[in-house]
Amino acid sequence: MSTAPRYQPRYTFADYCQWEGDWELWNGTAVAMSPSPLGPHERAVAKLVFQIEAALQRHGCACATYAGLDWIVADDTVVRPDVMVVCGSQPGRHLERAPALAIEVLSESTADKDRTAKRALYEASRVAHYLLIDPATKTIEWLALGDDGAYRDRSADLAGSPTFAVTLTDGCQIDIDRQFTFA
């Protein structure tokens, strides 16, 4: 067996812009996106975007919802959360700062990455709220950034109520109806 080190290429955002197909870039490593999402995943995304946009308009928030927008975390890290809420100035092209809220809708092929790698990335990037939506089990996990920069599990706050509100750092409130999300 060869003792030569294995070559591990490191890519940048400039490389990423040249690729065909659906990819993310994690710390210089190309990560292939799964095949297009299945029906329950896309229905959940559509219903979340609808609810969030309605809440933003109802409360007159200076925020917008994005589904499928690239977030350039660093020159060697580009991810595409299923849904993001961005407050304040809006991106003209890609998002280049942390969103106020990131949502990942879990599927068999992405659940492990969403619960581990993306959770760590979003926490380190100071995404204030991270929701993990599971259409198969009809559950929502809610992680909120604490003062110490670590995520706190707020999922217990969801028990017993069909709706819950996420208050963003600018004071804007987003109402989520769990029953509507999974209907």
Q: What is the pLDDT of residues 69-112, one digit of tens each?
A: 999 999 999 999 999 999 999 999 999 999 999 999 998 888 99
CB 96 within 8 A of CB 69: no
Give the pLDDT confidence of 116-152 residue by residue, as tens digits.
999 999 999 999 999 999 998 888 999 999 999 999 9
How confident is the model over 156-164, as a mean pLDDT?
A: 80
Residue 110 in 3-state DSSP? coil
Q: Is the pLDDT of residue 3 over 70?
A: no
The helix or strand, by DSSP H or E, that contains position 154, with its residue range, turns out to be none
Q: In the CATH hierarchy, which fold is given to the domain comprising 34-182? A: tt1808, chain A (3.90.1570)
Amino acid at 139: T
Asked if pLDDT for residue 182 goes beyond 90, the answer is: no
Dihedral (Cα; 16, 75, 10, 14), 10-degree rounding: 30
Sketch the domain layout of the chain as residue ranges.
Answer: 34-182
Q: Which two tokens stand for residue 29?
A: 């490593």
Share of the chain above pLDDT 90, in %: 55
| 37, pLDDT greater than 90 | no
